[in-house]
Structure 1
C-alpha cells in the first residue's frame, strides 16, 4: 500500500470511500489515460470531495499507484503450482495479458511520472517494483529448494534477468509480450536446472 499522508484529527477514514476512490481511479485512468486524469475526475467518479482524496494521498501519482498496485495484486498473482516451468508460464501469461491491456497503459503513465519525479520514483520502487521482485525471487528459491535450479544459480541475478526482459519489451522494444516470448524465457531459465 502507498504510504499516505498523516491523517488529521476528525472523521476516521471510510473503507468504503477508500475502495470507491481506488476503483474510480482505475476507471478514470482507463477512460482518459494517465496524463489527462485529474483528482477532480477521480473525485467525481468516486462520489467524494477532492479534499477526501488529498487527505489520504498527496498527488495523482500516489493514488494511481495504490489503485494500480491493488489491481495488479488481484490480477497477476505469483502462484505456487509445484513446478518452476508452470509457475513462470502462469506468471508471464497473466502479466503479459495485463500489460497488453489497459493496465499496461496505466503502468506506462506511472513509470513516466517516476522518471520525472525522483521522490515518486522511490515510492514506486518501494511499493510496486520491490515487492514483485521479491515474489519472483521467492518463486525461484522454491524451485531451487525442489532441485529444479542448481545450487550455484544466482537467484538474484536470474530474477533481474527475467524482470529485465519483461520490462525492456514492455517499455522500450517493439516486440510482442506473448506466449512465445514467455516460453523462450522459461527455456533459458530451465538451462539452470539441476
Structure 2
C-alpha cells in the first residue's frame, strides 16, 4: 500500500457545453470567414480557434457549408433592428438601406464569400438554397403585420415569400451586377414598383 497521498481528481477548467460552446464555435467560424473567406474555412481551424475538437462541431453541423451558413446567419440576426416609422413604404426602405449599407460589414463580407463559392461547392449551394427563403422573413412579416393592423396591407400579404421579396431582389442586384453597393434609386424602385404593388395586390388576387 502506497503512502503517497491520493490527489483528488479536478474537473476540466474552462470546459464549455451547450449554448456557450455553440456560440464559441460560430464566432470562431465567423472570424475565419472574415479573415480568410470560405475557401480557407476548415473544421480544424475552427476547432483550434474555438478551443474544442472537431467532433463537437460535427455533432452540430454536418459539414463546413452548414457551419458557414449558420455563422453568417448568427451575425446577420444580431445586427438587425426593426424600424417602426408608421408607414410600410418607409419601413421597407429603411430595412433595405440598412442591408445595403452593411454589405461591406463583416457579415456582408461573409455573404459575398459564400456566394462566390457556390459554384464550386454543391454542399454550400444546398445550404444556401435551403435557407434562402428565410431571408429574415420574421422581420419582414412583423413589418407586414403592422401594416395590416394599420390597414395599409391586406391580411393575404402575410406570406414569407411575399414578405422577403424586397430583400431577395436586393441580393439579386449584388449577385447579378457584382457590385458592393446598390444606388438608392434602385432601392426605391424595388419598393415602389415591385414590393408595394405585390403586397397591396394580394387582397384582390384570385383564390
TM range (shorter): 0.7 to 0.9
Among 53, 62, 69, the alignment partner of 2:66 is 62
Among 19, 22, 37, the alignment partner of 1:18 is 22
1:146 aligns to 2:150 (yes or no) = yes
Among 62, 81, 92, the alignment partner of 2:96 is 92
Shift of 1:84: 1.1
From the superposition, tell whether residues 38 and 140 of structure 1 become closer, same or farther in structure 2 (CA, over 3 Å): same
Shift of 1:42: 1.0
From the superposition, tell whether residues 187 and 153 of structure 1 become closer, same or farther in structure 2 (CA, over 3 Å): farther
**1:32-181 pair list within 5 angstroms:** 32-111=36-115, 116-117=121-122, 121=125, 123-127=127-131, 129-130=133-134, 132-133=136-137, 135-149=139-153, 151=154, 159=163, 161-174=165-178, 176-181=181-186
Count of residues in correspondence between the two structures = 182
Shift of 1:61: 0.9
Distance 1:135 1:64 in 2: 22
- CA contact under 8 A between 2:140 and 2:164: conserved in structure 1? no
Shift of 1:91: 1.1
Distance 1:42 1:70 in 2: 16
1:183 aligns to 2:188 (yes or no) = yes
From the superposition, tell whether residues 12 and 128 of structure 1 become closer, same or farther in structure 2 (CA, over 3 Å): farther
- TM-score, normalised relative to structure 1: 0.73
Any gaps of 5 or more consecutive residues in structure 1? 1-10
Any gaps of 5 or more consecutive residues in structure 2? 1-14, 202-207
Higher alpha-carbon Rg:
2
The two structures, once aligned, show a CA RMSD in angstroms of 3.3
